[in-house]
Chains A and B, each alone.
Chain A
Amino acid sequence: MKLRGKSHKYGNNVDTDVIIPARYLNTIDPAKLASHCLEDLDPRFAAAVEPGDMIVAGKNFGCGSSREHAPIAIRGSGVSCVIAADFARIFFRNAINTGLPILECPEAAREIRPGDELEVDLVTGTIADLSTGRSFAAKPFPAFILEIIRAGGLAGFLRDKAGEAGGEG
């Protein structure tokens, strides 16, 4: 699972209120949520982001509210992966459950520059900064988490499993 795109870089403690402000939580439509993604932190983001791009941030990414709308908005905006020094725990679960790839790597979070072209291999956890030629190693996800991400989230994963088992799903 190789991903490629350019970096959008932010600081520490990016909270879920700036990822998707509560005034937009009256919908669960990924496209509508995506159109307001990161609006209060970086109003240009929604227009500037291109499919495959990556968010690179510091510590405690996704802190605050439990709103699953946050990873849905990020994924809906075309972001292929979030790289951070570390993640808040509810966001961490929600990202996996909604099929948004995330990688913890303090060194990459520190060194990658805004706009750098990145290539990520989710299977090995390798993050390559093609603009600087540097490479970083994040701890890769175990196979079953990658399967959840491939299935677009936990619900899709469970439905696929039910299908494989010959269920009605």
Chain B
Amino acid sequence: MNMTMTQKILAAHAGRTSVEAGELIQARLDLVLGNDVTAPLAIQEFRRAGGGGVFDPERIALVLDHFTPNKDIQAAELCRTVRKFAAEQGIVHFFGAGEVGIEHVLLPEKGLVGPGDAVIGADSHTCTYGALGAFSAGVGSTDLAAGMATGRCWFKVPRALRFILRGKPAEYVGGKDVILHLIGLIGVDGASYMSMEFGGPGMAGLSMADRFTMANMAIEAGAKNGIFPADETALDYARSHGASRMAVFEPDADAVYDKTIEIDMSALAPLVAFPHSPAGVRPAGEAGDIRLDQVVIGSCTNGRLEDLRTAAGILKGNKAAKGLRLIVIPGSPEVYLRAIEEGLVRIFIEAGAVVGPPTCGPCLGGHMGVLAEGERALATTNRNFKGRMGHPGSEVYLAGPAVAAASAVAGRITTPEAVTGGGRERKAE
């Protein structure tokens, strides 16, 4: 046997003892996901194909997180389409109104994904669940329709890249910086059609939030999925969030990888990806004089409690620069509540932030924080494509929550140390 983690999970879900890269297989799905943008098309295709009932109303999750609270009449109609379908089909895991969280923050938190699962979602960032040792991949609406009808999906078994993580990241360096570094290294199509499989001794020092961030952005390198082996940290997370399935898959000792890349995380500085590519990575300290109109902290990439704590640690006692719009979006109702209980929301509001409801917000330029022509935002989101957050003549810079919070205070892109006055050294006093 010489299979990668991904290949082993796919083999198990295809009822096979082994699979080979390049093979086309049909796999059983543990969970199928859609949202208010992609599910309406899927529901239309589900009906066009003659679909009667869904394969299992307990294994479909529908989350109205993109354009809610309904942003306009058309979005309201799309949400109603999904709501009616969910009611008609008896979908158990339907999330609307006050239950809405950003799907990729919400589903793991609700225990709906576990280690070893195979998941598809009509959202490209479905690859997030690889942090739990699951195979999960983004698909389009028609594949979602077929998945809802049959509980199966066909896949080309992917080849893989191996990333060995070593060292401990410095204080203000997190999962976002590691994955931006990797995307900068291999490019936006560096892992096209492949798995990005993470591992190595450095992994133990990464929190689940860091790992979710890294797996989340595998798609920005063109990957089919990103995955970590489920270690004790991941199993603890899965158990404490009530995941019902837990199967651990490690790569075979002789697993075949196209390339193995070693990363010393202790050597990384906080990074920023410049417009209009997630691979346009530079150290935040070498950004030059980039003045900002808006800073967004949130998203399926960096909207978890740990991210908000990092941002609050820098914003505490500080104010967002005059004229800069700071928007903070907790990733789920649970994250929001904890952020209130821990006093983080007070810190954000006192710093001048708007604290938004748990949704995708302005990440994709649809709603609640759209940019005007010529405006610049730094965001903890995942894409800085042209026009991503609003006007095609606006710009988005990507970074982690520490750089985002510091840059909000400075009004321009800067390092966390520039605002905290040295960070680690000061703490040590």
B122 CB contacts on chain A under 8 angstroms: 66, 68
Verify B78–A26 contact, CB threshold 8 A. Answer: yes
Q: Provided the pairs A17-B383, A40-B392 are in contact, do residues A60 and B78 lie with their beta carbons within 8 angstroms?
A: no
Other-chain contact of B387, A17, A86, A97, A167 (Cβ < 8 Å): A17
CB-based nearest B residue for A156: B48
CB of B339 within 8 Å of the partner chain: no
Considering the chains assembled together, what is the distance between the CA atoms of A40 and B192 in angstroms?
Answer: 24
CB of A7 within 8 Å of the partner chain: no
The 8 closest A-B pairs by CB, nearest first: A94-B140, A97-B142, A68-B140, A26-B74, A40-B392, A155-B48, A22-B364, A40-B387
B387 CB contacts on chain A under 8 angstroms: 17-18, 21, 40
Chain A residues bordering chain B, tally (CB within 8 A): 42
CB of B385 within 8 Å of the partner chain: yes
17 pairs of residues in contact across A and B, judged by CB atoms under 8 Å: A13-B189, A18-B386, A22-B37, A25-B67, A26-B72, A64-B219, A69-B41, A88-B222, A90-B138, A90-B139, A90-B140, A94-B143, A98-B142, A154-B45, A155-B145, A158-B146, A159-B50
CB of B71 within 8 Å of the partner chain: yes
CB of A150 within 8 Å of the partner chain: no
CB of A83 within 8 Å of the partner chain: no
CB of B412 within 8 Å of the partner chain: no
CB of B257 within 8 Å of the partner chain: no
Considering the chains assembled together, what is the distance between the CA atoms of A60 and B50 in angstroms?
Answer: 33
CB-based nearest A residue for B120: A66
CB of B6 within 8 Å of the partner chain: no
CB of B188 within 8 Å of the partner chain: yes
Contact residues, A138-160 vs B (CB, 8 A) = 153-156, 158-159
The prevalent SS among residues of B at the interface is loop
Contact residues, A31-69 vs B (CB, 8 A) = 39-41, 59-60, 63-69
Verify A68–B41 contact, CB threshold 8 A. Answer: yes
Verify A22–B146 contact, CB threshold 8 A. Answer: no
Verify B193–A28 contact, CB threshold 8 A. Answer: no
Shortest Cβ distance from residue B274 to the other chain A in the assembled complex, whole angstroms? 15
Most chain B C-beta atoms within 10 Å of own C-beta, residue among A22, A39, A90, A159? A22
- Residues of chain A at the chain B interface (Cβ within 8 Å): 13, 15, 17-18, 21-23, 25-28, 39-41, 59-60, 63-69, 72, 86, 88-90, 93-94, 97-98, 153-156, 158-159, 162, 167-169
Contact residues, B337-389 vs A (CB, 8 A) = 364-366, 370, 383, 385-388
Considering the chains assembled together, what is the distance between the CA atoms of A154 and B44 in angstroms?
Answer: 12
Verify A89–B140 contact, CB threshold 8 A. Answer: no
Q: Provided the pairs A22-B366, A40-B387 are in contact, do residues A97 and B140 lie with their beta carbons within 8 angstroms?
A: yes
CB of B170 within 8 Å of the partner chain: no
A69 CB contacts on chain B under 8 angstroms: 37, 41
Contact residues, B14-62 vs A (CB, 8 A) = 37-38, 40-41, 44-46, 48-50
Shortest Cβ distance from residue B145 to the other chain A in the assembled complex, whole angstroms? 7
B294 CB contacts on chain A under 8 angstroms: none
Considering the chains assembled together, what is the distance between the CA atoms of A68 and B222 in angstroms?
Answer: 17
Verify A60–B49 contact, CB threshold 8 A. Answer: no
Shortest Cβ distance from residue B24 to the other chain A in the assembled complex, whole angstroms? 11
CB-based nearest B residue for A15: B385
Q: Provided the pairs A28-B40, A89-B192, A89-B224 are in contact, do residues A155 and B142 lie with their beta carbons within 8 angstroms?
A: yes
Other-chain contact of B386, A41, A88, A90, A162 (Cβ < 8 Å): A41
CB-based nearest A residue for B277: A13
Shortest Cβ distance from residue B38 to the other chain A in the assembled complex, whole angstroms? 7
Other-chain contact of B50, A59, A64, A162 (Cβ < 8 Å): A162
Verify A68–B142 contact, CB threshold 8 A. Answer: yes
Q: Provided the pairs A21-B365, A40-B387, A65-B124 are in contact, do residues A60 and B222 lie with their beta carbons within 8 angstroms?
A: yes
Given A17-B383, A25-B364, output 17 extra A-B contacts at Cβ < 8 Å.
A15-B383, A17-B387, A22-B366, A22-B388, A25-B66, A26-B71, A26-B75, A27-B74, A40-B387, A64-B124, A67-B140, A69-B41, A88-B189, A90-B138, A155-B46, A155-B49, A155-B142
